[in-house]
A and B are shown apart, each in its own frame.
With several copies, the nearest count.
Chain A
């Protein structure tokens, strides 16, 4: 059930959600077995910023009913460190590489996008305008005018597909989606985590080092489905649907809502090979026609060779 996404041929419609799988660390943990049965049809790297970031102070995690809250705070080696240390190793992965970037302001985003424009190793660039843990991430992604300005600035800087990752913490996500499409976005991805919070039952203080964090996992699934559905109604460009996917059935729902491909995030924490499982459950559903989404239907237009 191969799929075409922004001109990239994918073996199946399941990729990872940015920041929920570190292929380099996973290779340390699982060795070459990881590469032999790589769980995703494309690899999306964790958000890269211009300057290196330590991320938020711990604790960074809180468990919820059917989900979790995180305030990781985008730790990363910064652009230079990523280019020097990570990119060469990620280039060796058996699947296309999508680099997720975030800048504090348009200039930084422009610099990040330009830096990857000439790198063959990079199949596409995803713009994180939605990380709820970093102020500016919210601002850009929640306002259609900001998104318009951002894309008009960075779209000319690269021929690579630009995937705009929308924030769910917005009044009118479809409006932002339309603005991104109009300003040249190649595709959209959603949802990012939804702002949330928890208190330490012992101290009564906010639990997370970052005070607030982002909710992910099954708890956001129905919300993600509604936003993906609304955005797919609003735009023509392909959409990467994510939010609480644990099974092929969950993935099929996002395809029904109009997504071209789907991403698995939090579920990889519970099952490192979740991507493989979701992809095979999805093709099972297609095979035995369990779900109308896959009876030729939704996958039809997208499905290539196999």
Chain B
């Protein structure tokens, strides 16, 4: 757990109010394949980039496919504008939980617990921050970019998507360089193509990455090969989000870590590989 402590020590962990609270939906925007849900959270603190919330619908959580969902679902906070009490979440419909949440409309309520977990740490020894995102994994990068201005000027974000419908999400970050699998938008290929080109140009960066496991492993391998530090926001199946169930572990050099309390942001150096 030492490595995790290091990460933790470099970021101010914002604590969650105890328990689950209701948050009314204030807006719902469609961005291609994604939906952005906004809710009002007056009782909650402003989260740090990389932190997440456990979300469920206050009504009808259950009764979907296989009569699921039953457990809450984890979502990175995508934006938390400091001049509002709003939280923004980015959702992709991949199953009964995200499907139900995407249905929510103005007036409906979320149940939320959070902010949870360790967010991103500041770049090490004056490196510039380079944001690399894949698919719905762009969410924590958006809030990093918004707040990142304060801590270090960031480079142009590199984002990868499946196709044009998903690439519509790119507009959620400022001035992103995009790659798509089908080439319908930007570079045809993987976001790691863009990353290695960028690292050729300037290796004095620290990478902040979030996306599917395959992409994160490619980023990890690339960065370790170039001795570039990286912070990876991982995902794993979670039941509770606050360390209660021991269900969300990921293998690290230090053994299994509970991603919800020792992550979700891990230092790439902690990982043998992303699975």
Contact = CB atoms under 8 A, between A and B. Distances in A.
Interface in B200-245: 236-245
A40 to B, nearest CB: 12
A8 interface: no
A262 B15 CA distance: 29
A270 B246 CA distance: 14
B10 interface: no
19 contacts: A22-B244, A33-B15, A55-B246, A55-B256, A58-B247, A58-B249, A58-B250, A58-B251, A60-B248, A63-B69, A63-B70, A66-B62, A68-B71, A217-B70, A270-B56, A272-B20, A272-B113, A272-B244, A276-B19
Contacts of B20: 270-273
Interface stretch (A24-32, A101-109, A115-123, A152-160): A24-32
Contacts of B199: none
B66 interface: yes
Given A26-B242, A61-B239, A75-B256, A273 B19 contact: yes
Contacts of B68: 63-65
A25 B258 contact: yes
Contacts of A34: 18
A270 B244 contact: no
Contacts of A33: 15, 17-18
Nearest to A61: B247
B255 A54 contact: yes
B116 interface: yes
B18 A37 contact: yes
B16 interface: yes
Contacts of A212: none
Interface string B107-126: 00001010010000000000
Contacts of B250: 58
Nearest to B73: A63
A293 interface: no
B62 to A, nearest CB: 7
B243 A26 contact: yes
Nearest to B258: A25
Nearest to A36: B18
Contact of B261 (A28, A46, A60, A266): A28
B246 A269 contact: no
B140 interface: no
A272 B112 CA distance: 11
Contacts of B47: none
B242 A30 contact: yes
A169 interface: no
Given A22-B243, A22-B244, A273-B20, A30 B15 contact: yes
B45 to A, nearest CB: 10
Interface of A: 19-22, 24-26, 28-31, 33-34, 36-37, 46, 54-55, 57-61, 63-68, 70, 72, 75, 217-218, 266, 268-273, 276
Main secondary structure of the interface of B (DSSP, over half): loop
B67 interface: yes
B245 A65 contact: no
A269 B18 contact: no
Given A19-B246, A60-B247, A75-B246, A268 B19 contact: no
Given A33-B17, A54-B255, A68 B239 contact: yes
A205 to B, nearest CB: 15
Nearest to A66: B67
B242 A29 contact: yes
Nearest to B116: A29
A66 B243 contact: no
A46 B240 CA distance: 15
A154 to B, nearest CB: 26
A269 B240 contact: yes
Given A19-B246, A61-B237, 16 more contacts: A20-B245, A22-B244, A30-B18, A33-B15, A54-B255, A59-B237, A60-B248, A64-B68, A65-B67, A68-B70, A75-B256, A217-B70, A268-B240, A271-B19, A272-B113, A273-B18
Nearest to A29: B242
Contacts of B49: none
B242 A25 contact: yes
B72 interface: yes
Nearest to A35: B18
Closest 6 CB pairs of A and B: A25-B243, A273-B19, A65-B67, A269-B240, A61-B247, A33-B18
A269 B245 contact: yes
Nearest to B61: A270
Contacts of A61: 237-239, 245, 247-248
A271 B113 CA distance: 8
A218 B71 CA distance: 12
Among A24, A25, A46, A72, the one with the most B-chain Cβ atoms within 10 Å of its Cβ is: A25
A60 B246 contact: yes
Interface in B146-193: none
A56 B71 CA distance: 21
Interface in B247-271: 247-251, 255-256, 258, 261
Nearest to B238: A61
Contacts of A31: 15, 18
A266 B244 CA distance: 10
Contacts of A59: 236-237
Contacts of A217: 70
Nearest to A33: B18
